[in-house]
Amino acid sequence: MRLENKITLITGGAAGIGKATARRFAEEGATVIICDVNAEAGEGTAQVLGDRVVFSQVDVTDRQSVQEWVDDVVAKHSRIDVLVNNAGITRDALLVRVKEGQLVKQMPEEAFDAVIAVNLKGVFNCTQAVAPIMIAQQSGVILNASSVVGLYGNFGQTNYAATKAAVIGMTKTWARELGRYQIRVNAVAPGFILTEMVRNMPEKVLDGMRQKTPLGRLGEPDEIANVYLWLASDEASFVHGATISVDGGIVLGT
């Protein structure tokens, strides 16, 4: 019971890595409050995972919604021990597509803005709301979802790669700013993970992912959740400002 009685917030907790993390944290004794924009999926996940997991519908891009969520948790539990900034989206497209010297297509501004809003501004919103609580209690753990794409870049993911690289920068900055209050801040950079969304991709695409991964397979959501669990626990009490790749040794090609 490595997280016994720890009050934990997990954004984007309705499915995928967020759901797996909620399950592992609950198994280790945490009280887990997940949020998601998808109310149906979030309520279903909370019901499946049991009494230790509750759901709140929150849009991480909406600062008021985030603040109300955090205030409600503090009113009920008096503290927040762990924040996992997991919520994220993709809107993939090439920066520009040119045919016979002519521009034929480009990444829409709306796609860029949407990914920035969720993957970057959402992390900022949630951390800024939670940090004063953790400072007052002189303890806490903040865990941010980056990606190998944030380390290496990836074809067709200008927006996503930008957010995931920026999350690493924010993680390092917050580690410097918040360490004095005994708040640990770290990031995890997953590789290709078999979430529900990825499982529905064409087999040809999945094969390409496997070929780029030296271990020859895709990761499971629990393999990311286990790293979050370790980072949230006292076993990682001197790990601070780090970005841990969990990627099967991936080498991204073009």
Number of folded domains that form the chain:
1
Q: Would residue 160 count as lying in a domain?
A: yes
Residue 228 annotated among the catalytic residues of the structure: no
CATH number of the domain bearing residue 148: 3.40.50.720
- Distance of alpha carbon 186 from alpha carbon 102, whole angstroms: 44
- Distance of alpha carbon 218 from alpha carbon 236, whole angstroms: 26
Which is catalytic among the residues 152, 160, 181, 228? Answer: 160
What is the residue range of 121's domain? 7-246
For 88-102, 196-210, 211-225, which range has the lowest pLDDT when averaged over its residues? Answer: 196-210
- pLDDT value at 241 more than 90: yes
- pLDDT value at 254 more than 60: no
Q: Would residue 252 count as lying in a domain?
A: no
pTM as predicted = 0.96
Higher pLDDT, 48 or 201: 48
- pLDDT value at 125 more than 90: yes
Q: Would residue 28 count as lying in a domain?
A: yes
- Distance of alpha carbon 232 from alpha carbon 235, whole angstroms: 8
Q: How much is the average pLDDT of 247-254?
A: 81
Q: Would residue 168 count as lying in a domain?
A: yes
Radius of gyration of the chain (CA): 18
- pLDDT value at 38 more than 80: yes
